[in-house]
Chains A and B, each alone.
Chain A
Amino acid sequence: MAQHAAKGARFQAVTANRLSDGEVVYWSADNRWVEGFTEAEIADGADAADALLARAMPADFEAHVLEPYLFEVLEDGSFYKPASVRETIRAAGPTVRLDLGKQAGA
C-alpha cells in the first residue's frame, strides 16, 4: 500500500475502514470512530502518534474496523488536511464522481 505515514511527519491521524460497510472512518478525540476527517484527532509528534494509534486499537478493534493506520496531515491555516493524494481521496471520495463518497453530502 502506498502513501502511509511519512517518516518525520509532524502531524498524524488514524484512519481505518468500518467492518460492516467499509466506510472510511477516523479516530476522534472522544475515543470513537467517526466518518468525517474534520473530527479526527490530530497527534503532534511521533510519540503522540504512537499513543493515538494504540488508543484506536484496543483488544477488540477488529470487531469494528479493518486495518487502522497512521497517516500524515498538514496544517492548512487553522485547519488540517491529509498530506497525500490517497488520503485526500479517501477523505472526500472519487475525484471522477463528485456525486459519491463523503464529498457528496458536503
Chain B
Amino acid sequence: MYRYDEFDHQLVADRVSQFRGQVERRVSGALTEDQFKPLRLMNGVYLQLHAYMLRVAIPYGTLRSEQMRMLAHIARKYDRGYSHFTTRQNIQYNWPALDKIPDLLDELATVEMHAIQTSGNCIRNVTSDQYAGAIADEVEDPRIISEIIRQWSTFHPEFTYLPRKFKIAVTGHENDRAAIKLHDIGIVVKQNSAGEIGYEVHVGGGQGRTPFVAKKMTDFVPKEKLLAYLEAVMRVYNMLGRRDNSYKARIKILVHETGQEEMQRLVEAEFAKIDASDMLTVPQEEIDRISAYFAPPAFETLPAESETFTQAQAADADVARFVRANVVAHKQAGYAIVNISLKPIGGVPGDATDTQMDVIADLAENHSLDEVRVTHEQNLVLPHVKLDDVKAVYDALAAHELATANLGLISDQIACPGLDYCNLANARSIPLAQEISERFADLDRQYDIGELKIKISGCINACGHHHVGHIGILGVDKKGTEFYQISLGGAADENAAIGQITGRAFTEEDIVDAIETVVTTYTDLRADGERFIDTYNRLGMAPFKERLYD
C-alpha cells in the first residue's frame, strides 16, 4: 500500500490548518455561509437534516488496519459509535460538531487520511476495484495509476471550481467491479500488442437526473501520458461545461450535447497541446516508486487446497454457505478473498459500529496482510486471507453480526441514507431496504433467486445507484408522502446499462409486495441457469409490467 512521504504529510497538515482557519473565520463572522459553504464542502463537510456530516476519503477503497482502527476511534470520540460506508468507497460520519472537525482531521492525518475533495465541484476521491492485487487475471494493479491520479488531482489549481463534481474510477480487470462506465471518467487498464501498459478512457457516464453510460474516448493512452490526457479532458470540460443550470453541468451533458466524435476531437486537440509541452509526462522513476508500494505483499507458499478449509465447510453448514456466497478465489495459491457483508437482515446497508470496525481491523492485521477494502456496493473485503484461516475469520465475523452470507444476493442492497439523514432526499431508503431484506430473509430462497442487485435512492440524485440496479427503486415525494418507482434492467458492470421504469409508483405499503411480484415473475419465467438480469434482457419489460399492473 502507498505510504505518505514527508511531502504528502505536510500537505495534509497544511490543509487541516487551513480548514481550521476557515472554520474560525466562519464562526467569527468573517466568512458568510455562502462563502464558507464551498470551502467546507471541499473538506467533506455537509449539512444534513440533523447535524453536519463529514465524508472521509478512502483512496481507491484501500485501508490498513491502523486506519480502520482510527475510523473506529473517530466514530466513538466524535460521532455516535457508528459510521456509514458509501458507494464511492468513502466513509461518512453523521453527527460531528463543526467546531470539533479540525481536531478530528488532525487525528485522521496521523494515519495518512483526510477529507480533502470528498465534496464540492472538484475532482473527487478516485475509486477502484476492491479485489485489486488479489484477483487473478488482472492486467495491472489499478491502484498504481489511481494513486498517481489521486496526487495529480489533489489541490489542482485549475480544477477546483469546476461546473460540477467530477468522479474518476479505474479498473484493472475485465470484470468491472468499480462501475467505471457510470463515472465522469472511467479508466480500464489495458496492455497493447507490444506488451505496454496503458489506458482505455471512457468519459461522460453518470447517474442523477439524466443518467448516461460513458462513451469511449480513446482505446489506449500510454501510462506516462495519462495525466496529460486527463488534464485535456478536464480543461475542455472546465471551459465548455454548462454553469447556468446545475442539473446540466456534469460532463455527461457536455458529451451528450457535443456528441462523442466532436468531444473526441476537442480532447485530442487539447491533449496534443499539453503533450507537446511534455510537462505532464510522469517520470518513470516516480511511476516505479509508486508501483513499488503496490507490489504483491509477502504471500506464503501454500498448497492450493486446504484440508482445514474443506473440513470446516463439511462440518458447519453456516460456514459452507458463507464460503459459497462471500468467499472468492485468490490469485495466490492457498489464499482467498473474504467479503464482509454490511447488509445484515434488517440492518442499515453500509453501517458499521466502532466495535465492528475494530474487529475488522484486528482481522486485517492478523489474517489479511494488514489490508481491508471498501466496495462500491457498501461492503468490506479482507483481500488476502489464508484458506487455513477462513474458519477463524468467519467465527470472529459471526460473533459480531458480520457474517451474513448474502454477497450479490437480493438482500445485499445498495441504499443511500435517504430522508432519515439527507437534506436532499424526498423519501426514506433505509426502511425500505430493511423491509425487503426481511421479506427475503431466508437464505435458501436467496440462493434460489441468485444474483440480484437491488439499489435504492431516496431522490433523483441517485446516490443509491437505482438507475443501474437490476431492480432499481427511486423514492419520490408526492405532497409530503413517500412513493417508490421501480426500474428494471440496469447494470453497473462491464455491460453497464440504465434501467427502464416499470410504470406508476407504489406506495410505501405496496412497494415490497411489488418487488416480490417482480422476483416471482423472474423465477416463474427463467430458463435454466439464467440470472435475473439475463431473463430480463431476454424477455424485456412486458411480462414484469403485466404482473405488476394488471
A contact residues vs B (CB 8 Å cutoff): 1-3, 6, 17, 19-24, 60, 62-63, 66-67, 83-86, 89-90, 93-97, 100-101
Contacts and interface: CB of A to CB of B under 8 A. Distances in A.
Interface stretch (B194-202, B366-374, B419-427): B419-427
B27 A3 contact: no
A1 B424 contact: yes
A48 to B, nearest CB: 22
B48 A22 contact: yes
B324 interface: no
For B32, B348, B480, the residue with the greatest tally of chain A CB atoms inside 10 Å of its CB is B480
Nearest to A2: B426
Contact of A83 (B97, B98, B434, B480): B480
B77 to A, nearest CB: 15
Contacts of B480: 3, 6, 83-86
Contacts of B48: 22
A32 B97 CA distance: 21
B88 interface: no
30 contacts: A1-B424, A2-B425, A2-B426, A3-B477, A17-B47, A19-B26, A19-B98, A20-B27, A20-B97, A21-B52, A21-B97, A22-B47, A22-B51, A22-B98, A23-B51, A60-B29, A62-B32, A63-B29, A67-B33, A85-B481, A85-B482, A86-B419, A89-B420, A90-B50, A96-B348, A96-B420, A96-B431, A97-B348, A97-B420, A100-B50
Interface in B386-428: 419-421, 423-428
Nearest to B479: A6
Nearest to A92: B50
B180 interface: no
A10 B424 CA distance: 25
A22 B97 contact: yes
The SS class assigned to the A binding surface is loop
Interface of B: 26-27, 29, 32-33, 47-52, 80, 95, 97-99, 348, 419-421, 423-428, 430-431, 434, 459, 477, 480-482
A22 B100 CA distance: 12
A95 B425 contact: no
* The 5 A-B residue pairs with the shortest CB-CB distance in the complex, in nearest-first order: A21-B97, A22-B51, A94-B420, A22-B52, A84-B480
Contacts of A20: 27, 97-99
Contacts of A84: 480
A97 B80 CA distance: 11
Contacts of B434: 96
A97 to B, nearest CB: 8
A100 B97 contact: no
A21 B98 contact: yes
B50 A24 contact: yes
A23 B97 CA distance: 9
Contacts of B425: 2, 86
B431 to A, nearest CB: 6
Given A62-B33, A86-B480, A94-B421, 18 more contacts: A3-B480, A20-B99, A21-B99, A22-B50, A22-B52, A63-B27, A63-B29, A83-B480, A85-B428, A86-B49, A89-B428, A94-B50, A94-B420, A95-B428, A96-B431, A96-B434, A97-B348, A101-B50
Contacts of A6: 480
A6 B480 CA distance: 9
A42 to B, nearest CB: 18
A80 B340 CA distance: 45
Given A83-B480, A94-B421, A101-B50, A66 B99 contact: no
B419 A85 contact: yes
A3 B424 CA distance: 10
Contact of B50 (A19, A60, A66, A93): A93
For A1, A24, A101, the residue with the greatest tally of chain B CB atoms inside 10 Å of its CB is A101
Nearest to B428: A95
B84 to A, nearest CB: 11
For A1, A60, A86, the residue with the greatest tally of chain B CB atoms inside 10 Å of its CB is A86
Contacts of A93: 50
Given A2-B459, A21-B98, A95 B431 contact: yes
B80 A96 contact: no
Contacts of A1: 423-424
Contacts of A100: 50, 80, 95
A59 to B, nearest CB: 11
